[in-house]
Amino acid sequence: MRILAVDDKPLHEWWYLNAAPRGGSRAERLPLLRGQVDALPGDLEAVIALSDLQGMAPHALQDGAAALLGEVVADELAMMGEAGDLPPASRIGIVLAGDLFSNSTADERGASGDVRSVWSAFTRNFRWVVGVAGNHDTFGPARERERFFLEPGRELLDGGVVAPDGLTVGGVSYIIGRPDKLNRREQSAQLERIEAVLLQDPEVLVLHEGPDAPGTGLRGSAVIREAVEPWSRLLVICGHCHWEVPLVTLASGTQVLNVDARAVLLQRAGV
């Protein structure tokens, strides 16, 4: 699956509250961008990739009560499919690249917590959901987490590869950092998992912390870039560091789609 182009103008936007850098909260917009790909397998009409949905928004299906941004987006994307503005949800796959939590008042920057409700909202509405955990995502106690991901329709990846509808997707959760902190690994351990996934030759690699893009000023990990760059036909989907542009092609041809605080709808060219 090769991305041919991503539109600059959003197809849709959601207003939400996000934690401000110096305390309190501020209103921001989450854009939905449309992208074109050369091919999608089988009956799949689109893939939507998202990450870093760290905010609260009014939920139309809950009488306007505040809900996690990811829950709101999942339900409203499905409604857009019912209205004919998007393909039907039953023909859309979802890729989540992590960090889906906010505290209830959206005023704590870097809050960590349980994101099962967001995963459930996407699973309830869409064909399948695959993704990784970011450095702020939890899934309840270990036994509950295990049961949660035994349910069909969702796959949390951390060193594995799956093939929903024949699209091979690998993923590694967490970020590089001190292993005594939540959802972090030493650099060597994280790279070992990434390289083990790459050896299985997936079409798509989902990470929370992705590569940098030399010469662009776009932040990321240089060592992760060195790991993925030899795989010239690979599409990396990531978040964690916000990029002003969603798509970069590295010198080798490896594509990097950054979906930090954005959603990107990928459809076959010509649709």
Q: What is the overall mean pLDDT for the chain?
A: 96
Contacts of 69 (CB under 8 A, 6+ apart): 14, 16, 30, 53, 54, 55, 56, 57, 100, 102
Helix (H) / strand (E) containing 259: none
Radius of gyration of the chain (CA): 17
pLDDT tens digit string along 226-269? 999 999 999 999 999 999 999 999 999 999 999 999 999 999 99
First to last CA, the chain: 15
Task: Enter the pTM of the model.
Answer: 0.97
Is 211 exposed, middle or buried, given 0-12, 13-18 or 19+ CB atoms closer than 10 A?
A: buried
pLDDT for the residue numbered 40: 96
User: Is the Cβ–Cβ distance between 227 and 216 less than 8 Å?
Assistant: no
